[in-house]
Amino acid sequence: MVSKRALRITMLALTVIGLAVASYLTYVHYAGIKPACTAGESCTKVQTSVYSHLAGVPVALMGLIGYITILGLLLAPESETTRFATAAVTTVGFGFSAYLTYRELFSIHAICEWCVSSAVIMTLLLCLAVWRFLQGDSLTESGRGRARDDAEGASFDAQPS
C-alpha cells in the first residue's frame, strides 16, 4: 500500500519537473529563441506553428499556469475538495495535451520532445490524481496504518458469539 506522503511526494516531483519543462518552453517563446531539440527542427516547427497559441495566448504559458495550479493544490491542506480539484485540473491538462499531441501528429507533422515529455508527465499526474481521489481517506499515513485500521474494523464489526 502506498502512503499518502509517498503519493503526494511523487506527484509533487512530477509537477516540479512539468513546471520546469513549461517554464523553459515559455522562456523560449518570449525570448524568441529556438528550443533545444535532438530531433532536428521539430521543436521549432511545433513551437512556431499556428497551434502554439490559443486565443493569442501561448500554449506553453497555459501549461505553466496549469502546473502552478497543480502545485498549489498539492501544497494545500489535503481534503476531498483539493483531491477532486487536482483530479479535475489534471484531467483538463491531459485532454489539452492529447489535443496538442494530435495536432503535432496530424497537422504539424512534427513531434516536439518537450511537448511529449509534458504530455507524459500530465498523463502520470492524471493517473495518480484520480487514484488519490478515488482512494480518498482510505489512504493512510503509512502502509502499516492501513493494515491496522482494517484489522480493527474487522474486530469491531464481528458479531458476538
Instruction: Judge residue 145's burial from the number of C-beta atoms within 10 Å of its C-beta, 0-12 exposed, 13-18 middle, 19 or more buried.
Output: middle
User: Torsion-angle region of residue 78: left (phi > 0), alpha (psi -120 to 50) or beta?
Assistant: beta
Write the CA distances from 81 to 6, 15, 74, 99, 142, integer angstroms: 20, 19, 11, 27, 22
Split the chain (161 residues) into runs of 10 and give each run's mean pLDDT. Answer: 90 98 97 91 95 96 98 97 98 98 97 97 98 85 48 45 45
Q: Look at residue 158 in the predicted model and tell me its pLDDT.
A: 46
- Alpha-carbon distance of 158 to 161, in angstroms, equals 9
pTM score, whole prediction: 0.84
Residue type, 35: P
Write the CA distances from 107 to 28, 50, 80, integer angstroms: 22, 10, 39
Q: Look at residue 141 in the predicted model and tell me its pLDDT.
A: 58
Report the SS3 class of residue 58.
strand
Q: Look at residue 39 in the predicted model and tell me its pLDDT.
A: 77
Q: Which three cell numbers stand for residue 125?
A: 499526474
Contacts of 74 by beta carbon, 8 Å cutoff, 6+ apart: 8, 11, 12, 15, 86
- Alpha-carbon distance of 52 to 65, in angstroms, equals 15
The structural domains of the chain, ordered by start, are 4-156 (1.20.1440.130)
